[in-house]
Amino acid sequence: MEKKMKKLLSKHEFYISLVIVLLCAMIEIRSGQFFTPNNLVDLGSALIVPGLFAIGAFMVIVSGGIDVSFPALASLSVYTTTRILTDIDYKGGILLPIVMVLAFGALLGAFNGFFIAKLKLPTMIITLGTSSVFKGIMQGVLNSTQIPNIPEGMKKFGNDALFVALNKESGLTSKMPIAFLILIVAIGLAYFVLRYTMFGRALFAIGGNESSAYRAGFNVERTKFILYVVVGAVSSLAGLIRVCMMGQCHPTNMLGMEMMIIAGVVLGGVAITGGDGTLTGCMLGTILIVMVQNSLILLGIPTYWQGFFLGTLIIVGTGISAMQVLRNSKRLVRKKSEEESS
């Protein structure tokens, strides 16, 4: 029992859950509105897009890189898809848009992958560059404008509710969109891939130590390339869901989300240097960020404090995980020297 407690206390996920519970309690006490069915459902539906983005960001960070291009990438592929479908007056269901957006996302992801995997250039700087290129293609070459009327099929997909929650006191209702299922499926898939496939294990190995992974026989170049293709596709899917849920395509409105997503992943205890972290932690971190964003108003704090709180959260979160890494490596060194002396 004691051992179990100790193990629990050493886990990052435990602390982040604690913070979430405390925040929930604080909001509930201040406003009395937190544990109402419609607020919880609202939070759930606000989690869909950041959650999907976070899965992609998580995989990249585990492999030892930092991708800041995914919002621009998603914006470009979603805008292209919506534009084409609106122009040909598409009347069908959601299947074709999903296939198209996945294809565009994979293509743009391959563009990232070419520079990062084939030329072995630093991920962060390359993705800064590609995100600028994607933005330029969307706003300059394609001359993007807001698309107010997206195809019926997409609108229907965004509006269809899995279930509807009703707040009996205020009479407010909130819908849980069907897209929530996609998030759950994606989490399940990511969990399986990261844990039980060679590709997933390769990501952790590469993030831990790239040359060791190479020597151990992992095909580093191919794994990384596939990773960026997959991340491109997943992020684009998230973008499509966002457009469907909003009922209109606003090309620039996703840009700038990258920091918030990365902050969430890192808050969840994922080592920024790569090789370590859990999907559970990543999701908990994302939930915390979404809660901070959605619930400041319930706490009676003006929204312009958001940046301040976000910055503090990132610094504290990354600081704690960096100090843990430091402590662990020191402990390792001490253990080693003790073994040697004995």
Partner 1 sequence: MNENKVSIRKKLYNFYEKDVYTSRLIIMLLAVLISMLILRPGKFFTFVNFQTMVAQFPEFGLMSLGIMMCMITGGIDLSVVGIANLASISSAIMLKAMVAADGSLAWYGILVSILCGIVIGLLAGVLNGILVAKIHIPPILATLGSYELFSGIAIVLTKGKAISGLPMEYSSVISGKLFGIIPVQLIIFVIMAAVLSFLLTRTTFGPRIYMLGTNMKAAEFSGLNTSGLLIKTYALSGICAALGGLVMLANYNSARADYGAVYTLQCVLIVVLGGVNPDGGKGRISGVVFSILVLQMLSSGLNMFPQISNFYKPLIWGGVLLLAMTLNYFSENRGRSK
Stretch that binds partner 1, among 2-10, 16-24, 136-144, 192-200 (CB under 8 A): 136-144
Sign of CA dihedral 185, 94, 97, 149: negative
What is the contact mask toward partner 1 in residues 58 to 97, using x (rule: CB under 8 A)?
--------x-------------------------------
Bridge partners, 163 (sequence order): 176
- The DSSP code sequence of 79-92 is HHHHHHHHHTT--S
- Give 175's strand partners: 164
**Tokens, residue 122:** 């630093």
CB 254 to partner 1: min, Å: 15
Shortest separation between residue 308's beta carbon and partner 1, angstroms: 3
> Three-class SS of residue 273?
coil
When asked if residue 224 is in the footprint of partner 1 (CB under 8 A), the reply is: no
222, 311, 330, 336: residue in contact with partner 1 (rule CB under 8 A): 311
Contact at 8 Å (CB) between 269 and 285?
yes
Please tell me what DSSP assigns to residue 167.
Answer: -
CB 66 within 8 A of CB 273: no
Out of 7, 21, 95, 132, the only residue in the binding site for partner 1 (CB under 8 A) is 132
Closest approach of partner 1 to the CB of residue 123, in Å: 10
Amino acid 235 reads: S
Encoded one letter per residue, x for contact with partner 1 by CB under 8 A and - for no contact, window 317-336 reads -xx--xx-xx----------
Instruction: Please choose, out of 29-37, 73-81, 192-200, 298-306, the segment that lies near partner 1 by the rule CB under 8 A.
Output: 298-306
Closest Cα to residue 11, out of 332, 334, 276, 336? Answer: 276
Q: Should residue 148 be labelled a site residue for partner 1 when binding is judged by CB under 8 A?
A: no
Q: Which is nearer to partner 1, 188 or 319 (CB)?
A: 319
Q: How far is the CB of 37 from partner 1 (least distance, A)?
A: 32
**Residue closer to partner 1 (CB basis): 138 or 213:** 138
The closest alpha carbon to 95, from 150, 153, 48, belongs to 153
Q: Which stretch binds partner 1 (CB under 8 A): 1-9, 44-52, 115-123, 222-230?
A: 115-123
Between strands 173-177 and 161-166, the pairing is antiparallel
Identified binder of partner 1 from the candidate list 2, 89, 140, 168, rule CB under 8 A:
140
**Taking a C-beta distance cutoff of 8 angstroms, is the pair 102, 236 a contact?**
yes
Position 300 contacts partner 1 (CB under 8 A): no
Give dist(CA 217, CA 9) in Å, integer.
Answer: 36
Phi, psi dihedral angles at 175 (to 5 degrees): -100, 140
149, 151, 154, 160: CA torsion to nearest 10: 70
Answer for the pair 269, 321: CB distance below 8 angstroms, yes or no: yes
Looking at the Cβ atoms of 122 and 148, the one nearer to partner 1 is 122
115 binds partner 1 (CB under 8 A): yes
Does 211 interact with partner 1 (rule: CB under 8 A)? no
Chain contacts with partner 1 (rule: CB under 8 A): 66, 115, 119-122, 124-126, 128-137, 139-141, 143, 259, 262-263, 266, 272-273, 302, 304-312, 314-315, 318-319, 322-323, 325-326
